[in-house]
Amino acid sequence: MSKTNHTILTDTFGRKHNYLRISLTERCNLRCTYCMPADGIALSPKEHLMTADEIYIIAKTFVDLGVNKIRLTGGEPMVRKDFPLILEKLASLPVELGITTNGVLADRFIPLLKKNGIKTITISIDSLHKDKFQKITRRNEFEKVWNTIQLFQKEGFKVKLNIVLIKGFNDQEIVDFINLTKDKDLIIRFIEFMPFDGNQWNIDKLVTHQEILDKVSYIFPLQIKRLSDTPNDTSRNYKIEGYQGSFAIISSVTNPFCDTCNRIRLTADGKLKNCLFSGKEFSLLKPLRANQPLNNIIKSALQHKFATRGGMDTPDKLQNPDLHSKNRSMIAIGG
């Protein structure tokens, strides 16, 4: 890799981007309230979405520029009929490949995941109560997802659970989730509720990084052990002394990790987003189909990256619903 190529993925703040998150689809078999508006979204026409070959070509372009980690997201990535083909293509690249799923379909792909070197699976589950799970996902799939989590552990995968916390809804389950780590080598990841178009975000629903730690400290006084974070980690990692597993807090709102961000996102319709919070997008699919080079577009996208949260660098901006609506819904961005 040339020095010139290496600098393409470096932004004006000196942050080097080696992690690409690719949304395979805008479709999902759940309807989580924080992710999808109540009325759903207008799906992109199929011809506007990346094909398996186009996903591979764009991914390889990024790998040639220095990306060494790729995560597949959605929607729900496994609802794509050509998911096995996409996974096999991307597994041929020299990258660490990961997947985030809601777990509804994941059990049927275990042999495929093992064959293609997937060792870690991230599963979203926002409540351990069947009725709450159904309320937030608008679907009755709790038992399926819970059985899948246990199956992946039994099959030897490293399992991470993502929990989006919403005050007054599931914040009383923080300790219940942590107690899962007592005898299971699980990684529990609490995620602050983030503002996106159509998800009815307001700051009163936010469970902050400090509030999470306060709740845990009250139940486990002097037992919380701070773990070392890996470089560019989005989470602050902890464990309870004597427990097998661990827990983490992803605090994009109250304690963001923007200064060490190494992530870029590719939407299912081939748009590059330099930040999850940013409303500005750069099309890679159109120039690819026109046989035009992508490097200058990628470089421009990185040069336009803000220092913090897509420019929402103050509490007033963060709470401005007009700024939220300039971004897509989470379902259309990719988790």
Distance CA 216, CA 172 (A): 11
Cα→Cα distances 37→127, 329, 331, Å = 19, 7, 9
> Contact at 8 Å (CB) between 224 and 217?
yes
pLDDT of residue 1: 47
Distance CA 333, CA 281 (A): 10
Please name the residue ranges forming H helices in 186-335. Answer: 209-219, 285-289, 295-303, 315-318, 321-324, 330-333
Mean pLDDT of 103-125: 97
Mean pLDDT of 281-296: 97
Q: How high does pLDDT run on average in the chain?
A: 89
CATH number at residue 110: 3.20.20.70
Eight-class DSSP state of 43: P
User: For residue range 126-162, what is the model confidence (pLDDT) as tens digits?
Assistant: 999 999 999 989 899 999 999 999 999 999 999 999 9
Most confident of 180-194, 299-313, 317-331: 180-194
* Percentages (nearest 5) of helix, strand, coil residues in the chain: 35, 20, 45
pLDDT of residue 279: 81
Rounded to two decimals, the pTM is: 0.91
Buried-state track 316-330, b at ≥16 Cβ within 10 A, e below 16: eebeeeebbeebbbb
- Domain holding 26, by residue range, is 3-333
Residue at token pair 């007592």: 182
Mean pLDDT of 313-324: 64
User: For residue range 292-318, what is the model confidence (pLDDT) as tens digits?
Assistant: 999 999 999 999 999 987 767 666 666
The structure tokens listed for 117 are: 């070197």
Identify residue 135 by its one-letter amino acid code.
K
pLDDT of residue 335: 60
Mean pLDDT of 191-218: 81
Residue 164 has pLDDT above 70, yes or no: yes
Position with higher pLDDT, 259 vs 255: 259
Give the CB-side neighbour count of residue 116, counting CA atoms within 13 A: 23
Position with higher pLDDT, 68 vs 197: 68
Mean pLDDT of 265-277: 93
Distance CA 266, CA 281 (A): 9
Q: How many domains does the chain have?
A: 1
User: How does residue 38 score in pLDDT terms, banded at 50, 70 and 90?
Assistant: low
> Contact at 8 Å (CB) between 88 and 62?
no
Q: Is the peptide bond before 242 cis (omega within 30 degrees of 0)?
A: no
pLDDT of residue 204: 81
> Contact at 8 Å (CB) between 4 and 11?
no
- Distant-in-sequence, close-in-space partners of 286: CB < 8 Å, separation ≥ 6: 270
Distance CA 8, CA 243 (A): 43
User: For residue range 53-109, what is the model confidence (pLDDT) as tens digits?
Assistant: 999 999 999 999 999 999 999 889 999 999 999 999 999 999 999 999 999 999 999
Q: Could you give the percent of the chain with pLDDT greater than 90?
A: 70
Task: Give Cα 19 to chain centroid, integer Å.
Answer: 12
User: For residue range 211-247, what is the model confidence (pLDDT) as tens digits?
Assistant: 999 999 999 999 999 999 988 888 999 999 999 999 9
Buried-state track 13-34, b at ≥16 Cβ within 10 A, e below 16: eebbbbbbbbbbbbbbebebbb
